[in-house]
Amino acid sequence: MAFKALAAFLTLAAFQVANAALTRRVACPDGVNTATNAACCSLFALRDDLQQNLFDNGQCGEDVHESLRLTFHDAIGIGSNGGGGADGSIAIFEDIETAFHANAGIDEIINEQKPFLARHNITVGDFIQFAGALGVSNCPGAPRLPVFIGRPNAVAPAPDKTVPEPFDSVDTILARFADAGNFSTVEVVWLLISHTIAAADLVDPTIPGTPFDSTPETFDTQFFVETQLKGTLFPGTAGNQGEVESPLQGEIRLQSDFELARDSRTACEWQSFVNNQRKLTNRFQAVFTKMTVLGNDVNSLIDCSELIPEPPAFTGSATFPAGFSVNDVEQACEATPFPTLATDPGPVTSVAPVPPS
Ligand code: HEM
Ligand SMILES: *[C@@H]1O[C@H](CO)[C@@H](O)[C@H](O)[C@H]1NC(C)=O
Ligand SMILES: *[C@@H]1O[C@H](CO)[C@@H](O)[C@H](O)[C@H]1NC(C)=O
């Protein structure tokens, strides 16, 4: 009896030790939260501030879209011509980098983020990447994106021409991503998953907030359906800003997305995302993990990914917009037919713009 009790006690003690090792957390100075690393503690207050006051209580609106775009424009500032990657240079050297053509309009989110940066103790590069990862968690269907902190502040601006333009050729785009971070051809497609929660203000300044797909506030696969619908370059491409007409009223398509959807090197990977939500979330998480630390040694950073909430699920299916069918698809992947999709019921509608926030 006594031996049995002792054995049971030892088993329980061993279990508790093992359990504590798995879940050991430090109490944060705020008296409320715990974290796996004390350095993550300061992010809780920043997270709440951003969610309430930048992202309008957890929306997936314009400020989230712009914050994600900013993670990219900061991180991609690296390569054989110099630049420190994800180092905050785009905001620290705002006067220089926002004057680059490809960064048009990015000053808006830099300036909206500034008061948050001033209120919290965090480097600029960490802040930009954290805000983007957090914002995306508000979008139904999104993956949980990782958060790392410890990036030093940039000491120099990135050079011009690191950010791809929508009128760049597929050759130029693939070469730029390879130069910036050894991104492979499929990884370039994975990065463009971001355009499922996106709109353009300046590609055609007469129609600000025009989305790239019909569901810009959902991290779904609809972008990969709608970029594949037939269409043509706007006539007189000289002087155009890289825009292709969309058969959907109220939608805009980037020439670069249009071409990546049709190029023999990228078309099958592009099509593979149609109605494949699992692959979409998995690949975007993987490629964002690579992008978010460009220019930094990941082993010297601290993983604070636990700060990111589980995004709401997306349980719907991809569809053809009302009035469209597989006959409207410009099939580009030779190896695999386009997936079978239902068509939305009802009359043909126009896609609403993303409201400014
Ligand atoms: C070939 C590469 C890319 C090109 C040419 C490109 C180009 C563009 C352009 C022209 C816009 C519209 C800007 C405006 O007029 O307001 C845009 C928006 C956006 N881009 Fe990209 N992009 C690329 C890759 C990426 C990547 C890798 C990400 C993130 C990982 C990203 C995230 C976004 C987001 C979220 C928006 C929407 C911003 C908003 O709605 O305000 N883009 N992109
Ligand atoms: C700000 O953060 C750094 C790095 O985590 C830390 O060393 C420093 O003590 C913090 N400063 C304040 C005022 O909390
Ligand atoms: C680039 O990526 C490939 C895999 O796509 C890998 O085999 C290679 O080692 C990488 N090169 C560098 C310099 O990191």
pLDDT at 15: 46
Beta bridge partners of 254: 243
Q: Could you tell me the distance, in angstroms and rounded to a whole number, from the CA of residue 195 to the centre of ligand 1?
A: 6
Q: Could you tell me the distance, in angstroms and rounded to a whole number, from the CA of residue 162 to the centre of ligand 1?
A: 14
**Averaged over 143-160, what is the pLDDT?**
98
Q: Whose CA is nearest to atom 2 of ligand 3?
A: 182
**Averaged over 201-211, what is the pLDDT?**
91
pLDDT at 204: 85
| CA distance readout (Å), 354 to 38, 135, 171 | 38, 16, 31
Residue 235 has pLDDT above 70, yes or no: no
Percent of the chain at pLDDT > 70 equals 91
Look at the block and give the residue holding tokens 């990228």.
Answer: 266
Atom of ligand 3 nearest to the CA of 187: 5
Atom of ligand 1 nearest to the CA of 65: 35
Higher pLDDT, 8 or 48: 48
Question: What phi and psi values does residue 39 have, to the nearest 5 degrees?
Answer: -65, -20
Ligand nearest to the CA of 126: 2
pLDDT at 272: 98
Q: Determine if residue 300 is labeled as part of a ligand binding site.
A: no
The C-alpha atoms of residue 52 and residue 70 are separated, in whole angstroms, by 20
Lowest pLDDT segment from 70-74, 242-246, 262-266 = 242-246
277: nearest Cα among 132, 139, 146, 143:
143
Residue 88 has pLDDT above 70, yes or no: yes
pLDDT at 241: 73
130: nearest Cα among 310, 281, 307:
307
Query: pLDDT class for 218, splitting at 50, 70, 90?
Result: very high
pLDDT at 243: 85
